[in-house]
Structure 1
Amino acid sequence: MTSNPTHVGVIGGGRMGAGVAQVFAGLGASVTLAESADRDAARARIDEGLARAHERDKLGGADPALIGDRIVVVDAVEALPGGLDLVVEAVPEDAACKLAVLSAAEKMVDDTTVLASNTSSLSIGELGAALNDPSRFIGMHFFNPVPASALVEIVRAPATAAGTVESVRDWVAALGKSAVVVNDAPGFATSRLGVCLGLEAIRMLAEGVASAADIDRAMELGYRHPMGPLRSTDLVGLDVRLAIADHLADTLGDRFAAPELLRDKVARGELGRKTGRGFYDWEDDRR
């Protein structure tokens, strides 16, 4: 394996998958993105992401069209080609869905291909147990928005080979991002801490302690957080944060029980920036 992967597969063309495809294509890799629901929407997300990066001068002078040309969008995991160095699964945070696409991908790729999940909370060990060779399976938890984020959380399960960890470390470094390596545990390091803070901020809002803006400003200015917990929840998606909270409550106990305010907002479809409203109004900034 080389420090720079030359051909990468991505499964799932949502915001995260499109972002993962963009950064590897920006590195110079050929990328095959499998999206079964809406290939046109996946391609539009990639094009929009590249256009934004170009506007902000984040492509190092590269032509966004040339980067986009390195990405081929196909309609099924079964269309992934041979010769892939890495496949990153970025489908919704549902264990059954992830198991299905990972199992299908393993049948399609070479026996040297690293398989990775972008899960933010599900057990890498449990997902890997369904594979024939869990030694090449690992967690690569990217953050939203992928092109602008500086971190990738690498999650190592007991069966993950040391060589797999080292290859993924090299690839993360090649992307210009920093890696933290954590052992497989509920919520890993980032989701566990991030959800804990976010849930308490939601409880404080529900109790009338302060406004959403003031709670966020307190953490941004008082603790130097780049973004407050409620705005961050809007960016992640309230539905995503609720799913992670429910998983952590099941595995770690009631301290991760989701507040009713969060459940109510999700039930009303107020999911954050992607729907135009969460704890803030995003109608002028929907992407």
Structure 2
Amino acid sequence: MTVYRGFVADTPDDPFTGAPLRAETDVALLVRDGVIVERGSAATVLADNPGEDVVDLEGGVLVPGMVDTHVHLPQVRAIGGLGMPLLDWLEHRALPEEARLADDAYAKGVATDFLDGLARAGTTSALVFGAHFSGAVDELFAQADASGLRITSGLVVSDRMLRDDLHTTPERAYAESVELARRWHGHGRLRYAVTPRFALSTTREMLDACEQVVRDVEGSGSPRTSTRTPARSRRSTSCSARATTTTSTATTSTVCWGSARCSRTTCTRPTASCSGWPPPAP
């Protein structure tokens, strides 16, 4: 066991209900196997646990681990590649880096850099935008499990309006997501998050597959899976003006954006022949 001694600032009760910050000098925390088992004045904790290793944090502040509610695994090596508009940055910086995670060896290094960065920043819990490749997500979970960090993440799925090498099919997305969730959801400090990228890059069929994953992976810590495949839903075509057709990995549908007669519910990959593209500024 180890005793950590120093100035401690924490919120033992829920701050969102009005609980105040607690800040005390010369406090000691007794830690056994990574778990705090005793907290009190240094004099009391040291007297109760003679002979334990003591880490003196005088001059510093001991605080609980930070919680990051939105952070991207694939972008850790793209940090600093700025100086351009968002869509250009995605095309030339972020998305090419995401595609590199198809290489398991490269993805392993990215996961190491990412988790090390969290720990160095004092972040012990994070909701993580994962990768489009199951091997990369599996590696993230494996390393997170070994590190003791609390990580919630999952396979990112998309089947339109991105680079082709980031696309998958609803069937494959379902199968790989269920496999990863069965292995990692509720394992230690890990949780699985079903992760469609965003509405424009996912067809209705892909969203149906994501919903089926949620239905078939239930419980906390003891997920179960089903052998059912995701049901395909019929999609109506509401774009009727100045439209062209294109084929994605999941479906063939009408492309149109910006027409007064377009409900914007069935748009897929924009093409040069769609006269309504790009959409007007809000």
How high is the TM-score relative to the length of structure 2?
0.36
Please say which structure displays the higher CA radius of gyration: 2
* Larger helix fraction of residues: 1
How high is the TM-score relative to the length of structure 1?
0.35
* Larger strand fraction of residues: 2
Greater length-normalized contact order (CA 8 Å, ≥ 6 residues apart): 1
